[in-house]
């Protein structure tokens, strides 16, 4: 058994466990994304990042093995900021690689992701133009559809 501290609390887990196993056994939840239980793992997304307090290092909990004397913080300002940054970076890189649910479910077949991408940097006119490629009365369509879209997204 390996003894370590999670959020200041002593715990012990069997050798070879990952930090995620140890954290879960404490009943604490850590978000994961590329991790899939019982599959050979290849850490890439860095969403499950936690902090090793003594070294101040951020490590992916899903595949870091426990070692004796570790002191793990599963959630503080820095860790949350790191997860947010990782997610932001992933999203910034994620254009056109899969179909967004809003687009799949849009009954009016509008290119919503593209409209949003134009809206982001404030190109409102470009976004409207994109919308009008399909619908001359985009304003009213938008008002009508917002309800049904919200349902399909949830």
Partner 1 sequence: MAERETEKLFEKTGTSREQVIPVLQAIQEKHHYLPEKLLHEVCENSEITPAQLMGVASFYSQFRLKPTGEHIIKVCTGTACHVKRAELVFDALGRELHLQPGEDTDKEGHYTLERVNCLGCCTLAPVVQIDEVTFGHVDAESVPKVIHAFEQKHNGNPVKTHQGEEKAGKFHGEIRIGLGSCCVASGSEEVKNSVEEAVFNYELNVQLKRVGCVGMCHQVPLLEIVPEGKEPILYSKVQAADVKNIINKHFKPQGFWHKIKASLFDLVEDIQTDRNWDGVEQYALNVREKHVSSFLGRQIPIATEYRGAIDPLDITEYKSRFGFMSISQCLSKYTPDQVVDKIRDSGLRGRGGAGFPTGVKWRTFRDAPGTTKYIICNGDEGDPGAFMDRMLLESYPYRIIEGMLVAAYATGATEGYFYIRAEYPLAVKRISAALEICRSQGYLGADILKSGFSFDMEIFQGAGAFICGEETAMISSMEGNRGFPTLRPPYPVEKGLWDCPTLVNNTETLAQIPFIIRNDLEKYTIHGTANSKGTKVFALAGKINRGGLIEVPMGISVREIIEDIGGGVPNGRKFKAVQIGGPSGGCVPEWLADTPVDYDSLKKVGAMMGSGGLVVLDDTDCMVDIARYFLSFTQVESCGKCTFCRVGTRRMLDILNEITSGNGTMKDLDELEKLAQWTKKGSLCGLGQSAPNPVLSTLQYFRQEYVAHINGKCPTGKCQKLIKYSIDNSCIGCTKCAQICPTDAIAFTPHKIHIIDQDKCIKCDACKAVCPEDSVRVD
Conformation bin of residue 8: beta by default, left when phi > 0, alpha when psi is -120 to 50: left
Interface with partner 1 by CB under 8 A: which range of 21-29, 90-98, 119-127, 136-144? 90-98
Neighbours of 113 (CB within 10 A): 15
CB of 106 to partner 1, least distance (A): 28
Of the candidate residues 23, 35, 60, 118, the single one contacting partner 1 (CB under 8 A)? 60
Q: Is 74 in the site for partner 1 (CB under 8 A)?
A: no
Residue 109 interacts with partner 1 (CB under 8 A): yes or no: no
Is 77 an interacting residue with respect to partner 1 (CB under 8 A)?
no
DSSP string, 17-49: -BHHHHHHHTT-----SS--TTS-----S-TTE
85 binds partner 1 (CB under 8 A): yes
Phi, psi of 70 (to 5 degrees): -65, 145
Helix, strand, coil percentages (3-state) for the chain, rounded to 5, are: 40, 15, 45
Per-residue x/- track, 25-44, partner 1 (CB under 8 A)? -----------------xxx
Any contact of residue 131 with partner 1 (CB under 8 A)?
A: no
Say if CB 18 and CB 39 are below 8 A apart. no
Among 68, 80, 89, 104, binds partner 1 (CB under 8 A): 89
Binding stretches for partner 1 (CB under 8 A): 42-46, 49, 58-60, 63-65, 67, 82, 85-86, 89-90, 92-93
């Amino acid at each position: 058994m390996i003894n370590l501290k999670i959020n200041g609390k002593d715990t012990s887990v069997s050798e070879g466990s990952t930090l995620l196993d140890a954290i879960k056994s404490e009943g604490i939840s850590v978000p994961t994304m590329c991790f899939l239980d019982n599959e050979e793992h290849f850490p890439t997304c860095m969403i499950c990042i936690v902090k090793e307090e003594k070294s101040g290092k951020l490590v992916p909990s899903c595949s870091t093995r426990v070692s004796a004397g570790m002191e793990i913080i599963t959630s503080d300002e820095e860790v949350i900021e790191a997860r947010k940054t990782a997610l932001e970076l992933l999203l910034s890189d994620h254009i056109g690689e899969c179909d967004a649910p809003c687009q799949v479910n849009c009954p009016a077949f509008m290119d919503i992701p593209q409209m949003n991408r134009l809206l982001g940097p404030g190109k409102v006119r470009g976004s409207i133009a994109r919308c009008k490629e399909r619908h001359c009365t985009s304003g009213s369509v938008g008002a009508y559809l917002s309800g049904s879209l919200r349902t399909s997204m949830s």
